[in-house]
Amino acid sequence: MILKLKCNLENLTRLNLSNTNINDTTILHLDNLKHVEVLNLYGTEITDESLKIIEKLSGLKRVYLWKTNVSDTGLENLKAIRQDIKVIGASS
């Protein structure tokens, strides 16, 4: 489903994927959403691997990562790499 919607959502600014089956594989389809400012991944199966995609979302201002499989170290690394993003997660 995400792959099918990808080309129509390039100008999207908010994306709520909370409690969906998004994971480290399916998140790869979000890589072109450069205008997303708010991304909610609460309650998903993503891990630290997904942070490589998240950090490349140039318009991102806020990301919700609690109740995911992202480690505290992963959260801290994302905060260090993208100091312009408010990261909301287990260690926030």
The CATH number given to 2-88 is 3.80.10.10
The pLDDT score that the predictor gives to residue 17 is 96
The pLDDT confidence band at residue 8, using thresholds 50, 70 and 90, is low
Q: What is the chain's mean pLDDT, rounded?
A: 89
Distances in Å between the Cα of 85 and the Cα atoms of 39, 56, 58, 64 are 11, 11, 10, 10
Higher pLDDT, 46 or 10: 46
pTM of the model: 0.88
| Cα-trace Rg, the chain | 12
Tokens 């499989």 sit on residue: 69
